[in-house]
Amino acid sequence: MVTVNEAKQRIIANTVTLPTVKIPLQEAVGSYLSADVISPIALPPFRQSSMDGYAIVHSDITEPGTALRLAGESKAGQTDLPTVSAGTAVRIFTGAPVPEGATAVVMQENTSLADGSVQIHEFPVAEGKNVRRAGQQIAQGAVALRAGTLISPGAVGFLQGMNVSEVTVHTKPRIGLLVTGDELLKAGDALVPGKIYESNSAMLQAALAQAGIRDVSVSYASDDLDATISALAELLEHYDVVLASGGISVGDYDFVGRALEALGAETVFYKVRQKPGKPLLFGKKGEKLIFALPGNPASSLVCYYEYVLPALKKVMGSKEPFLRWVRLPLRHAYRFDGERDEFLKARVEDGEVVSLDGQESFVIGSFAVANAIIYLPVSQNKVEAGDLVEVHLLPL
């Protein structure tokens, strides 16, 4: 049995990033850059107004109410611009090019019109006010986004704005998911005594989709050693990462561990000193990763967030694979006995963290409203209300 930190370190040490591919920017959301993106242009490419108002020479304004003669206008997209000279002003709109000669823009709320002139009621006017400099956001030739950056909707907008249409990213992993358990029913089956509906596959597919991974194949195996070996062999042949749900504890009908041994897979570790999720197995076959997750749904999802997701993010090229975490005050006191660290389903609310009801490993309902996981090491098994605890923030 390994500690929580040992398990995480071994997983990352045994995880290899996948090769790279160049793909259209719009298809890259959820991928991680494998190379820096260099800006081919400056943003903005010209001086822009950040306000509707008037482009002026700032030094012309010597007192409130200074009047300037109107000498034209500049609107967004205009290329034939008037020139601003001493004593003149040009009507300008947000995003429009700032004409040559202008050194500031006065917002229209601080002006008034009379007889072909505009009166400037703001004084003094600072040089450069309300003017976006060319290259203020990014200079031409500068690094726009570093390797390892996640392509988010914001990244798409940023890169598209500089006419970047393709990016080089790490390939996303193909996931083979095996569900075991003779007690499980599929959606739509009639409920019969002794059976339960299988939900882990849908839960894990949803979590993978949230991470941008949609190439997922789900297989099922009965509680039989030969069936488990056959199913795992098929997945290991075709997929980069294999997840097994259930069949990894110490019961007479838990065959996943024995099946992996029969297939020649290397067990990097089996069992973690934690609650829930103790019977977690991490292994390899070549460079293919194997995670055997507990069958209880809350245990399975805790192990996914704490161990599987970081491995997948490293596979995809992330430089910061683990969940973001903060230290927050605990709303209610909490105590536990034993020699295992605990993960608690939780919510962050109003600057503090609340441990939720239903912490048992089979209870998934509390995860439905959780936005965080509290991590309490054995050394912190008695915490009072207001004590600071480590809080792992779940992906949105």
Whether 320 maps to a domain, the answer reads: no
**52/31 same-domain check:** no
257 and 154 assigned to the same domain: no
pLDDT of residue 186: 84
Asked if residue 371 belongs to a domain, the reply is: yes
Does the CA dihedral 51-57-63-68 come out positive or negative? negative
- Tell which of 287, 315, 343 closes a domain: 315
Report whether 48 contacts 96 (CB < 8 A): yes
Shared domain check, 126 and 157 = no
Q: Residue 123 maps to which CATH number?
A: 2.170.190.11
Q: How far apart are CA 267 and CA 279, in angstroms?
A: 13
CATH of the domain at 147: 3.90.105.10
Q: What is the pLDDT of residues 261-298, one digit of tens each?
A: 999 999 999 999 999 999 999 999 999 999 999 999 99
Does 33 share its domain with 158?
A: yes
Is the backbone of residue 182 left (phi > 0), alpha (psi -120 to 50) or beta? alpha
- The verdict on 222 and 257 lying in the same domain is yes
HSE (side-chain half, CA atoms, 13 Å) at 304 = 27
Tell me: do 350 and 302 sit in the same domain: no
Same domain? For 204 and 335 the reply is no
pLDDT bucket at 183, cuts 50 / 70 / 90: confident
CATH of the domain at 349: 2.40.340.10
* Residue whose tokens read 């999802």: 301
Confirm whether 149 is domain-assigned: yes
Domain that holds residue 115: 48-132
Q: Are 179 and 219 found together in one domain?
A: yes
Structure tokens at 155: 């990244």
* Structural domains of the chain, count: 4
Of 144, 170, 196, the last residue of a domain is 170
User: What is the model's pLDDT at position 253?
Assistant: 60
Of the CA atoms within 13 Å of residue 13, those in its CB half-sphere come to 8
Are the C-beta atoms of 39 and 138 separated by less than 8 Å?
yes
Are 181 and 308 contained in the same domain? yes
- Do residues 35 and 157 both lie within one domain? yes
Q: How far apart are CA 58 and CA 221, in angstroms?
A: 77
pLDDT per residue as tens digits for the range 143-163: 999 999 999 999 999 999 999
Residue 14 placed within a domain: yes
Cα separation, 117 vs 54, whole angstroms = 11
pTM of the model: 0.88
* Backbone dihedral angles phi then psi of residue 150, each to the nearest 5 degrees: -75, 130
